[in-house]
Amino acid sequence: MVLLLAACAPGSGSVGGADYDPAYDFSEFYRVTNGRTFRVIAAGNPFPSIRPEEMRERLLPVMQANRPRPRLTFTYAAPAETPHPDYRLVLVFDAANDLTAARVCADQIRTKPEFSGKVAVFGVYCRNDSALSQAVATTTASAPEDPSMGRLLGQLFQVLFIKVPPIDRPRFPFAFPR
């Protein structure tokens, strides 16, 4: 009941459109991020009154405070050499309507030409050029430090980095072949 009331709170936002590649594996995510840095690419700016560089700088501690379960440290720093595999989180604010997760992971990111008035983010967890999970989220926030922004990122991370994704897989694949 408390969760239901929290979802109805003003500025709580919404997360939807979740999709998971069959290759998604939480244990893999945990293994590659726990105790390590995890690169984030943030495209677009949901706060037009703030310079994009400043927005990214102010958003990083909000992401860190609402991080998913592994003890990871978010960073914007690109490695000197591209790691193989290249794991990263891409957050596209005000994504173009036809933008797909595959395009995001292939670094073909496009945003809408005009600010929509709401914070709308398309989050994609990538491994190389493959999208392992994706979701969209929206809220109303006036700045990166707005509490609704933190709640939204926390919810988005829980969906993107879910322990057991809701994929149609047999529960006992060896006992009940399809």
CB 133 within 8 A of CB 19: yes
Average pLDDT over residues 142-171: 88
At 5 the pLDDT is 37
Looking at the DSSP bridge assignments, the partners of residue 127 are 87, 130
Residue 96 DSSP SS3: coil
Q: pLDDT band at 64, cuts 50/70/90? A: very high
Q: Is the peptide bond before 85 cis (omega within 30 degrees of 0)?
A: yes
* Site of tokens 């709170």: 9
| Helix, strand, coil percent values for the chain (each to nearest 5) | 25, 25, 50
Structure confidence by residue, pLDDT tens digits, 76-108: 999 999 899 999 999 999 999 999 999 999 999
At 177 the pLDDT is 47
At 133 the pLDDT is 98
Instruction: Tell me: pLDDT of 1 over 60.
Output: no
Kindly list the strands in the beta sheet with 37-43, ordered across the sheet, starting from the edge strand earlier in the chain. 14-20, 130-139, 119-127, 87-93, 37-43, 73-75
* Percent over 70 (pLDDT), the chain: 87
The alpha helices in the chain, defined as continuous H runs, are 2-8, 26-33, 52-65, 101-105, 147-160
86: left (phi over 0), alpha (psi -120 to 50) or beta: beta
Instruction: Tell me: pLDDT of 176 over 70.
Output: no
Instruction: Work out the mean pLDDT of the chain and round it to a whole number.
Output: 89
Structure confidence by residue, pLDDT tens digits, 112-135: 988 778 999 999 999 999 999 999
Structural element, H or E, at residue 125: strand 119-127
Tokens of 104: 């995001």
